[in-house]
Structure 1
Amino acid sequence: MKMLDFNQKIHSKVQCTSHVLVGDIGGTTTDFGILGKKNGKIILLVSIHYKSRDITNFTSVVADMLAYVKGEFGWTLRHACFAAACPISKNATVCNLTNLNLHIRKTDLCRKTSLRHVTLINDFQAIAYGVSVLRGKQLVNAKRGKSVEKAPRVVLGAGTGLGKGILLYDDKKKIYVPFSSEGGHTPLPIINKEEFQLLEFIRKRKKHNYVEWEDVLSGRGLVHMYLFAGTKKKFTKTKYSKEVHSSGYNSRLISLYKHKDKHCHAAFLMFLKFYGRCAKSFALDTMAVGGVYIAGGIAADNAEIFTHDIFRKEFTFSEKMGHVLEKIPVTVIADYNVSLYGAAVVAFSK
């Protein structure tokens, strides 16, 4: 069987004493990484990227990749951790991708590949673990505040879907321990007439009455708002809007042209407002006075936009809890590989 096409990137040539295989399996892309450890520091060495919809047998892809890595770099990998965009079974042995017809089974991976120890975790658990090892330019301050030591933290991020995770400090382990959430599938709250019109617009497009957070905070959510904005105002056509249209309304192009095209800009500001509201709701639900972290591909590509007043005002707007929200710092995770780092933290701990 022919090995699937993939893209590869060399991140570092540092000689490490041990290596692990990790993966971040999402609805659009599946990213694998080989990370090493040297002097206690986790280092991303190589990343390998597939289109998720090309993968029909996850175990076979992992087996092919392990053989490739051994031949290309001389590494025999025994420990792995895979982070998937879905709930993980109670015994953490099986996961079925939420936005993709793909199944991952721990027993198959250990039986049919060279791996001897495999851990399956939720993708936002991986991001939560990854936050602890990121530094400097990997993190962007979006809203200043004062983090309360050992207090709850939350992480959320829009990509193919909307993921959420909660971090609680463990006094015995002396680390933050992440807990997964499926809060992206809770109902979308609306507060004015225009937002109700957006709600009705999305209902008609998806042909379902249930509209959830993920329907606005995701790639398809950005498309929903771009199309909705076009029903509210007639925008002058530009070469950028023509490209968006000819692409079938590609969310990456809408994001890319947010400063060059007024239609794209309007959609992105609406997107940003809902992002602020979602972050606020999650922070108050959990009293995350330890801080809010924003992750996901859209955030990594647009870290600077989260300093916009629209996000900050929406995040702090509250009749009774504004004084609490004002003090909570918001940080954007600018390193797209945060899930790989987080999965490596787990893999190295086994």
Structure 2
Amino acid sequence: MVTASAPHCRATVLAADIGGTSGRFALFAMGGESLALAARVELPSAAAGGFEALVRSAMDALAPSGRDLPAPSAAVLAVAGPVRQGRFCLPPNIPYTLDLDLLPSGLLPASSLLVNDFTAQAHGCRVLGVEGSDPVLPGTMDAAETQAVVGPGTGLGKAALIPDGRGGFVVGSSEGGHAAFPFNAGEERLFQDFVLRATGEPFARWETVVSGSGLALLNRYLTGEVLAPAQVSASLNAEAATTEWFARFLGRACRDYVLEVVARGGVYVSGGVAAKNPLFLSHWAFEREFRASHTHPELMAGVGVRLVRDQNVGLWGAAALAQRLAEPVCDQRLSR
């Protein structure tokens, strides 16, 4: 639940979560002490032809549902890539640039920002709280400590929720999904060679391995089958080698990020790959890899892991940020 500073102001905010596969857009109604999801649309992001075209299509699609709502007074668009000054992003998995300053006047509210998609995911995890997730591994889930958010989807996102010392928190976003993946010795090195040949990249990145496309690549290596990620997901069971390997790699991603940011407060695992394939998190290989640390075994033994059920978590986080932009507008209305 998100609290508004102007409890009697009736206002609307626009939130978006734009990834490499799809762009989710939603209108949220502000009022009282909560945000309410009023209308939502999902569009293919890569096929949109450009940022303006995607936003215009989304606004047109939301218009019928938003007839009885005031026009949005603020907007926050979360995008899968590094954001510059809240206005510009050149995303790695979307074939066009996102630049708020190049959009026609009036297409979005004057108070609009871009944020990294996992900045929004992290805020969304705090909005939904523990109640919006399922337990995976026992251990501490404490918002007073640093918490990690890790999410495999089209790519691999990471963020940290860090206490600010005043009862609040700040979010540290990350492009760690593009860092080099740490393969172990043995057969993993053979898979590494396969990945390099298949992708032509100079080194295998985290999101080359722990993502939807990584799942398809891994299954191709282990079985010889050339399948789309959704087809692989549909064919998996707990005994499949692909399940064991991917669970191990996802456990490694979560463990290493916990160590990087000292996330004693727990891990939220989000993203479509995890939400659609919870068997990766319940598999023994996930827990074994996540807990494995010869330098900090006590730290890793105490960290809890939860799976975020709601795939709109990024929208909730973007809406919470948009609400902050809209609050001065509400204050102005109430002062009249």
| Both proteins in one fold, TM over 0.5 | yes
Question: Is residue 227 of structure 1 aligned with residue 220 of structure 2?
Answer: yes
Q: How does 1:242-281 map to 2 (within 5 A)?
A: 249-259=227-237, 265-281=240-256
Offset of residue 167 of structure 1: 1.4
Separation of aligned partners in 2, 1:116 and 1:100: 25
* Secondary structure of the structure 1 residue equivalent to 2:289: helix
Any conservation in 2 of the 1:78–1:117 contact (CA below 8 Å)?
Answer: yes
Residues 252-275 of structure 1 deviation map (CA, whole Å, 9 limit, x = unaligned) = 121122129x6xx32122111000
* Secondary structure of the structure 2 residue equivalent to 1:318: coil
Offset of residue 63 of structure 1: 3.5
1:179 aligned partner, one-letter code: G
Query: 1:127/1:228 Cα in 2 relative to 1: closer, same or farther (>3 Å)?
Result: same
Q: How does 1:1-350 map to 2 (within 5 A)?
A: 17-74=10-67, 75=69, 76-89=71-84, 91-109=85-103, 111-135=105-129, 138-148=132-142, 150-172=144-166, 174-230=167-223, 249-259=227-237, 265-350=240-325
Any conservation in 2 of the 1:78–1:115 contact (CA below 8 Å)?
Answer: yes
Structure 2's unaligned 5+ residue stretches are 1-8, 326-336
Query: 1:149/1:77 Cα in 2 relative to 1: closer, same or farther (>3 Å)?
Result: closer
Residue aligning to 1:7: none
Any conservation in 1 of the 2:39–2:66 contact (CA below 8 Å)?
Answer: no
Offset of residue 220 of structure 1: 1.1
Offset of residue 110 of structure 1: 6.6
Any conservation in 1 of the 2:210–2:246 contact (CA below 8 Å)?
Answer: yes
* Secondary structure of the structure 1 residue equivalent to 2:204: coil
Residue aligning to 1:234: none
Any conservation in 2 of the 1:216–1:225 contact (CA below 8 Å)?
Answer: yes
Structure 1's unaligned 5+ residue stretches are 1-15, 232-244
1:157 aligned partner, one-letter code: G
Query: 1:279/1:44 Cα in 2 relative to 1: closer, same or farther (>3 Å)?
Result: same
Any conservation in 1 of the 2:41–2:61 contact (CA below 8 Å)?
Answer: no
Any conservation in 1 of the 2:141–2:267 contact (CA below 8 Å)?
Answer: no
Number of matched residues?
315
Offset of residue 175 of structure 1: 2.3
Separation of aligned partners in 2, 1:149 and 1:338: 17
Any conservation in 2 of the 1:188–1:211 contact (CA below 8 Å)?
Answer: yes
Separation of aligned partners in 2, 1:177 and 1:129: 9
Separation of aligned partners in 2, 1:336 and 1:252: 16
* Secondary structure of the structure 1 residue equivalent to 2:105: helix
Query: 1:306/1:133 Cα in 2 relative to 1: closer, same or farther (>3 Å)?
Result: same
Separation of aligned partners in 1, 2:154 and 2:143: 32
Separation of aligned partners in 1, 2:28 and 2:243: 35
Any conservation in 2 of the 1:31–1:49 contact (CA below 8 Å)?
Answer: yes
1:85 aligned partner, one-letter code: A
Residues 295-337 of structure 1 deviation map (CA, whole Å, 9 limit, x = unaligned) = 1101111235412221111101121211110100111111100
Q: Percent identity?
A: 28
Offset of residue 208 of structure 1: 2.8
> Which range is displaced more, 49-58 or 153-162?
49-58
* Secondary structure of the structure 2 residue equivalent to 1:111: coil
Separation of aligned partners in 2, 1:208 and 1:63: 35
Offset of residue 105 of structure 1: 1.6
Separation of aligned partners in 2, 1:63 and 1:220: 29
